[in-house]
Each structure stands twice: as structure tokens, then as C-alpha cells.
A = this chain, B = another copy of it.
Amino acid sequence: MTQTPPRPAAGSPAPRPVPTSTDVARLAGVSRATVSYVLNNTSAVRISEPTRRRVREAAEELGYVPHAAARSLRAGRTRIVLLPTAHVPVGPLYGHFLNELQWALRRLDYTVVQYASMGLDGDEAARAWAELRPVAVVSFGAVELTPQGVDVLKRSGAQAVITLGPQPVEGAHSLPVDQRRVGRCAGVHLVERGYRRIGVVLPEEPGPELFSGPRLEGVRHAVAGTGADVVPLPLARTEEAAGALAARWPGLGLDAVFAYDDEYAVLLLRALLDAGASVPGDTAVMGAGDLLLGRLMRPRLSTVRIDMEAGQHLAELVDRVVADPDRTPENRDLMAARAIHREST
């Protein structure tokens, strides 16, 4: 026997142990199997109505709630979808997308587990995730997933290992999401308008590197061969930092700037205006994300609009892959990016 807690100190409110299906069965005067059948509405077996009622009443009276872990253990599979997350959100857009995905997954009856990857490397992380025996893992690049990591997950029972990112991972169902395209949109937009010395604002804060790097690369790519220059500009997300950058702006000799997202863009735009610069006359400013923020500035901020395929769609994809892991991967990029011309460029 296990250590039956010998009546904890008097005064405790309810030292009652948590009721199990055995307790329900005993109270209803039936077997555990019958309890299971009744509570799960198993159609393959027919139980008499009086019995059903007795079982239901017993469960109600005891406040019985089935134990998900025991169920999974027996069933050999969970309904857990694991979402590895980075320390810091990389932007409002991403947060919104993640939220939508969670909601949609829950709606499909999955249990969403967010797993913060505390600086583990890809394989350590994969092993930690595998302990939960998730039926699916959807990775946004917070952790660099390796083919070995994917293998560990699949062997632990994951039916779907889905990665979103610029390049596919061997063994995983990889959906293309190429942040370079955001930069490319901006680069093309600016070059077409004749700008030739282009600054690119990169967040100094840790977190968005996985997004900001490729966006910079995208700008470089768009600009290649046009004779235009690209100058990386690290910037902290504060008014002071923006002011300092604006102060040394004339010395930089830039005629345009593309910022990691609209927040950084507006921060700098404001600082430039306050420093007496003319936008887009002296310098064009472009952001990304098409946030409310930018539309409310004057001049209105030109931006790269990013549409992530609705979380709803991704959730349905997860569900399909779980049901049929061998289906051929889809290749459409989940992210649509296009430049929106307003008044700041």
C-alpha cells in the first residue's frame, strides 16, 4: 500500500483524497469498466439506463474528474501540442498570431503547452519536449531544431513536427516563412524611389535576432547591384536612444531608413522630426508590421504589411498532419509581405 496519509492535523478543511473511478464504481455498485463506459459514452457497449444514472450520480456526488495523464498513458498518445517560445516576444504581430493559433488548437481539443526554451540547445530541448510526449510540435525558430532533434520527437510519438522558418529541417514538416522577404519588399520599395544610402534599424534588445537578421539580409539582397549602400543601425527601443541616433543623423549621410518594425520606425521618425529633419524630404522612413501606430503618425508611416496565414489555418494543418503524418507537406509561404506606400517615403 502507499502511505495512506494518516489524517493530517485536525483543522484542515478537506483532507479527502482525490476520488478515482474506483471510488465511483464502489459508490455506484458497479465495476470500474462500467464507470468508464458510462462516462465516456462508449457506443460499442450498451449499459442500462438505471445503471448509467447511478454512475453519473455517484461521479457527481464525489466530484470525480478523470485523470488526463492516466488516460494518455493508457491510450498511448496525448493531445498535447507543444509550442516552444522565445524569452521575449518579437513583436505584436507575432503575439497576435500565436494567440490565434492557441485558440484554434484548443478549439480542436488540443492541449497547448508553451515551453520556454531556457537556453537549451536544439537536442537538449527536443529531449525535454519529448518527455511530454506531445502529439505535435510547432516550432517558430525560438530554438534551432536539428534533424536529430526531430528524430527524437518523432520516436517519442510526435505525429507532427512542424517548423516555420526560412529553411526546411530534415524530417520535419517545414513551412516556409522567410523573413528576408520583408526586407526585400522594403529594399525594393526604397530603391525604386531613388534612395541610395539606406540605414537598417536593428533592435539592440535580445529576442528578435532570428527575425531582424534575415530582414537585413533581405534588404541587402534587394539592393545588390543597384549601387545603393546598406548601413546597419543598432537601436534600443527608447526615446533617448532614438534621440541620440537622430542627433548624429546628418553625419551618417543616409537618405532612407528601414526599421525592424513600426515601433522602431516611429521612434526614429519622431526623433528625426523633433531634431528638425524633414521626412521624407531629408530622409525616408519605413517600418514593418503595419501597426496602428504608424497610421496615426504624421507623416503617415510607409510600411511592409505582413499577413501571417491565420492561426486558424495553421491549427487545421496541424490537425491534418496529426491524422495523417505521411501527407505531403504544403509549400505555400505562410507569410505574405508587401510594401505599403504612405507619406514617409
Which stretch from A68-76, A180-188, A209-217, A250-258 is at the chain B interface? A68-76
Binary per-residue interface labels of chain A (102-115) against chain B in the complex, 1 for a CB within 8 Å, 0 otherwise: 11001100011111
**A328 located at the interface, meaning its Cβ lies under 8 Å from any Cβ of chain B in the complex:** no
Q: Which B residues touch A133, using CB under 8 A?
A: 18, 67-69
Question: Could you say which of A24-32, A86-94, A220-228, A276-284 contacts chain B?
Answer: A86-94
Please tell me if the beta carbons of A326 and B12 are within 8 angstroms of each other in the complex: yes
Contact pick for A296, options B85, B157, B267, CB 8 Å:
B267
A16 close to B (CB within 8 Å): yes
- Given known A1-B42, A14-B154, contact A76–B6 (CB-CB < 8 A): yes
Contact of A19 among B113, B115, B155 (CB under 8 A): B155
Which residue of B has the minimal Cβ distance to A5? Answer: B76
Q: Decide if A151 touches B63 in the complex (CB within 8 Å).
A: yes
Given contacts A99-B89, A113-B112, A326-B12, contact A65 B296 (CB under 8 A): no
Whole-angstrom distance between the Cβ of A148 and the nearest chain B Cβ: 9
Residue contact B132 to A106, C-beta cutoff 8 Å: no
Does the CB pair A152–B118 fall under 8 Å? Answer: no
A33 within 8 A of B: no
Given contacts A19-B155, A73-B70, contact A102 B114 (CB under 8 A): yes
16 contacts between A and B (CB under 8 A): A1-B42, A6-B77, A18-B155, A63-B152, A63-B155, A65-B156, A68-B131, A68-B133, A85-B102, A89-B95, A89-B99, A102-B114, A106-B115, A113-B113, A239-B295, A266-B292
